[in-house]
Amino acid sequence: MKLWGGRFEKGTEGLVEDFHSSIRFDQRLYKQDIQGSIAHARMLGKVGVISEAEATQLIEGLNGILKDVQAGTVEFEIGAEDIHMNVEKLLTERIGPVGKKLHTGRSRNDQVALDLRLFLKSEIDQTKSLLAQLTQTLLKLSEEHLETWMPGYTHLQKAQPITLAHHLMAYVQMFLRDLGRLKDTRKRLNISPLGSGAMAGTTFPLDREQVAVELGLDGVTLNSLDGVSDRDFALEFLANASILMMHLSRLCEELVIWSSGEFQFISMDDGYSTGSSIMPQKKNPDVAELVRGKTGRVYGDLMALLTVMKGLPLAYNKDMQEDKEAVFDAVDTIQKCLLVVEPMLRTMQVHRDIMAFGAKGGFTNATDLADYMAKKGVPFREAHEFVGRIVLHCSKEGLGLEDLSLSDYQAISPIFEEDLFSSIGIEHCVRARKITGGPSPETVFEGIRLSRQALDEL
């Protein structure tokens, strides 16, 4: 007999039973479900909807179930559909008819909305701590590589010299924003929908605020229809997770490029690389590639839930049962990725000499040569044109800008003086960019300090 079986003349088809049951995946919410039920039961007793003694019996029964589920001794039933009815059924089996009072003034619709909020709240905390660890590692690496010169790129063509610290600190900024988004979402989801009932609230004098306080929530939802049909918080989380994965994916893509034989900027630790079944020489950056690949999964989770929610009339619809697998998959995927990227970065070997050598070629100091001329009074656009012609000449001769002599330069223009060569030295090009946000070691050092501060506040 179903908990809702009263108005039915025959049972659910076996096929349907299997089709609509969610216990296979929503049993993951058992802890939140039982916590919510305990808070609800305590409140029912306090406001006198049930007796205090009954409330105590319910709470003891629920705590017993919690313990047994944790010990792995509880078998859930497909026939009881979902985690909510499985727990209620177990409770009544264990403590008798008083168990049937638990669901007074409550619906699975507000119950599941609560469970998912509580679940996401703790998973956001976990995700934030993993992301903070990764950010710490990047900060530490940046500190070590303030003077590791490397080429910066646009269009994957050499652009201007920077440092590895400056490059890594770009990811720190991204991850600080990701942390901020997660914090923001957590704040918004931290309210209780219990009391919304099926969709129209309830006539029982429930103390919604007390339930919220017991569950560590900051308040209650203000519209019962919205309380049961809002999944914005899950979508926000999935959107945050997607943006975070996009950042991880870009970082991993760079690691793949940098570890290629053509670049050789870094070597991945053996522990974070894999080999080939046929080519004995291979050492592949599979971990970084897989993180890049898993980004697609998380985007898929976001798209899945956006599509489920699109066009649903208020209030609850069974479609919404599809929210959980998307959320679970995204949670698992981002946490696994964060967990593996941190040590992969920490253990990689940086080939400073090859990076510094790369910083030199490709006329990465051409902008500085044009700037030199502009500082001596040549209009920048004209200087740009001049330097372009010098680059063309040098590239034909296989020379760098620093390989021409002072008299070569003076033959082009009398403005060139001895200080030219120090102005276009790679190190100087980096050190002179002291502007806020720029790559000079002292600027990046200050950026690390400010970012550490920001991290502490997230």
Phi, psi (rounded to 5 degrees) for 198 = -70, -40
Instruction: Tell me whether residue 109 or residue 242 sits nearer to ligand ARG (CB atom).
Output: 109
In angstroms, the CA 89 to CA 1 distance is 11
Q: Which is nearer to ligand ARG, 197 or 400 (CB)?
A: 197
DSSP string, 11-29: PPPHHHHHHH--HHHHGGG
As measured in angstroms, the least distance from the Cβ of 219 to ligand ARG is: 23
Tell me the sheet residues that pair with 219.
Answer: none
Find residue 157's DSSP bridge partners: 154
Shortest Å, Cβ 26 to ligand ARG: 6
Residue 401 CB neighbours (<10 A): 19
* Structure tokens belonging to residue 414: 């009398």
CB of 458 to ligand ARG, least distance (A): 32
Distance of closest approach, residue 37 Cβ to ligand ARG, in angstroms: 14
CA dihedral angle for residue 301, residue 115, residue 132, residue 153, rounded to 10 degrees: 20
User: In this structure, what is the dihedral angle of CA atoms 109, 113, 116, 120, given to the nearest 10 degrees?
Assistant: 170
Give the separation between CA 338 and CA 249, rounded to whole angstroms: 11
Closest C-alpha to 338, from 67, 128, 68: 128
In angstroms, give the least distance from the CB of 3 to ligand ARG. 11
Q: What is the DSSP string of 359-399?
A: HHTTTTTHHHHHHHHHHTT--HHHHHHHHHHHHHHHHHHT-
Minimum CB–partner distance for residue 318 and ligand ARG (Å): 5
Q: How far is the CB of 166 from ligand ARG (least distance, A)?
A: 47
Query: Which amino acid makes up residue 366?
Result: A
Active site residue 107: no
Tell me the C-alpha to C-alpha distance, in Å, between residue 309 and each of 99, 155, 215: 34, 38, 27
Given the residues 122, 276, 395, 413, the one annotated as active site: 276
Instruction: For residue 341, give the nearest of 297, 292, 302, 274 by alpha carbon.
Output: 292
Task: Report, in Å, the least distance between residue 103 CB and ligand ARG.
Answer: 12
* H/E stretch holding 266: strand 266-267
Distances from the Cα of 229 to the Cαs of 81, 238, 313, 314, in angstroms? 20, 17, 9, 7
Tokens 């760098």 belong to residue: 400
- Told to judge if 155 belongs to the known catalytic residues of this protein, a careful annotator would answer yes
Q: Where are the beta strands (DSSP E) in 117-252?
A: 149-154, 157-163
Separation of alpha carbons 352 and 264, rounded Å:
10
- Chain residues binding ligand ARG by CB under 6 A are 22, 26, 82, 84, 108-109, 112, 316, 318, 320-321
Q: Which of the residues 155, 277, 405, 407 is marked catalytic? A: 155
Minimum CB distance to ligand ARG smaller for 149 or for 316? 316
Do the Cβ atoms of 231 and 185 come closer than 8 Å?
no
Q: Which residues are catalytic?
A: 155, 276
